[in-house]
Amino acid sequence: MVLFIFRRLGAMVLTMLVVSVMLFLLLELTPGNVATKVLGPYSSEEQRNLWLEANGYFEPLWYRYVTWLGSFVTGDFGESIRFKVPVADVLWPRLWNTAILGFWTFALMIPLSLVLGVLAGMREGSKLDRSISVTSIVTTSIPEFASAVFLTAIFVFWLGWLPGTSTMTSGFDWRQLVLPVMVLVLYDFGYVARMTRASMAEVMTAPYIRTAVLKGLPYRRVIMRHALRNALIAPFTVITLQINWLLSGVIVVEFFFAYKGFGALLLEASLNQDIFLIEACAMVAVFVATATQTIADLGYTYLNPRIRFS
């Protein structure tokens, strides 16, 4: 098990290194551009050359990469061109905001989708199953930007119950969190519910469930004791991978509701070609992607004794 964990972690670090090399080559191969981005369009050739020299851009490429990686690992991401402050100063608060949004989305979405998925999967083909399945498919196929407009039209413009944007300018306000969370949950619960349903339906056809039912166990107990344990293994992986989806999926929602999170930051950084911020955001995204994958793998192995390593 320990060896397995180390191998997974090793693979994770390797993936991140490969991505970091690609990112570095993509963004910093032409130093002239970096200087223009940092010093602005009014800067002269002379000023740019001075800046490049002062910041070590005339060193060999491999040396620059190692230095860059070194400062990156120690938390020095450079200064944001757009915000004029160290990248870390904007990145961490924004990531925290997205974590809040993600937490509430998951807190609602997981129970909702699991319950619906299990209910649907319990009796495949029943009326309940069909109505849950149709609802899930419909909500999942409406993109976030459409449901955001739709929900805003209802709750902001028509009923006037909720605030239309979520900038949280004067501190945290749960009312401003309702619409973004609603849009995300609406989009995502259907997918997880469908996966749960499929897993549940498969378990329900397994011989040991039939045996349990036939030997006269109460149906409730068959589900709770025997079916769920096995049926929830697959959804665990799916849910862990949703964290990764959320990190990029929130871009649309954060932009629409002017929520100051990681997604909006990533968008802003790319639109303004804020090189150091893009690098940091991309590395965070890669870290989250590989980390969730590793956690999903480890968790799955732990939960499923059939593939557990000795």
Partner 1 sequence: MADRHSKALHPYIPELQKLLRKGEIGRREFLRTATVLGVSAGAAYAMAGTGAVKRAQAATEEPKFGGNLRCSMNVKEITDPATYDWSEKGNVARHVIEPLVRISHENIAEPYLAERWEASEDLKTWTFYLRKGVKWSNGDDFTADDVIYNFNRWLDPKTGSSNQGRFNSMTTTVDTGKKDDDGKPVMSTVAAEGVLEKVDDHTVRFNLVIPDLSLPESMADYPALIVHRRFEEEGGDFAKNPVGTGPFALTDFAVGEKAVFAKRDAPWWGGDVYLDQITYIDHGDDMAAQLAALASDQVDCNYRTSIEQVETHRAIPNLTVYDTLTAQCGVARMRVTEKPFDNKLLRQAIQACVDNEEVLRIVYQGRGAVGEDHHVAPIHPEYADLPRLKQDYDLAKKLLAEAGYPDGIKLTIDCVANPTWEQNACKALREMCLPAGIDIAINVMPGGTYWDRWMSTPFGFTSWTHRALGTQVLNLAYRSGVAWNETDYSNPEFDKLLDKAGGILDPEQRKVVMADIEKILQDDAIISQSSWRSVFITANDRVKNIYVQPAEEHHYNKVWMS
Q: List contacts with partner 1 (CB under 8 A).
A: 36-37, 40-43, 82-85, 90, 149, 152, 156-157, 160, 162-165, 167, 169-170, 255-258, 260, 264, 268, 271-273
Closest CB 296 distance from partner 1, rounded Å? 33
- Choose between 194 and 260: whose C-beta lies nearer to partner 1: 260
Cβ at position 3, least distance to partner 1 in Å: 46
Token reading at 241: 């991978």
Length of the chain: 310
CB 151 within 8 A of CB 182: yes
The CB-of-24 to partner 1 minimum distance in angstroms stands at: 21
Tokens representing 124? 């495949």
Shortest distance, position 258 Cβ to partner 1, whole Å = 4
If the CB atoms of residues 129 and 268 are measured against partner 1, the closer one turns out to be 268
* Closest to partner 1 by CB, 64 or 82: 82
Question: How far, in Å, CA of 85 to CA of 45, rounded?
Answer: 25
- Which helix (DSSP H) or strand (DSSP E) does residue 11 occupy? helix 2-28
What is residue 86's three-state secondary structure? Answer: strand
Q: Give the whole-angstrom CA distance, residue 158 versus residue 227.
A: 44
Q: How far is the CB of 184 from partner 1 (least distance, A)?
A: 17
Name which of 79 and 124 has its Cβ closer to partner 1. 79
**Angstrom distances, CA of residue 159 to CA of 88, 152, 162:** 40, 10, 8
- CB 208, CB 176: distance < 8 Å: no
CB of 27 to partner 1, least distance (A): 15
Give the span between the Cα atoms of 163 and 157, in whole angstroms. 9
Query: CA-to-CA distance for 297 and 290, rounded, in angstroms?
Result: 10
User: Of the two residues 92 and 208, which places its CB atom closer to partner 1 in the complex?
Assistant: 92
For partner 1, the closer of residues 132 and 264 by Cβ is 264
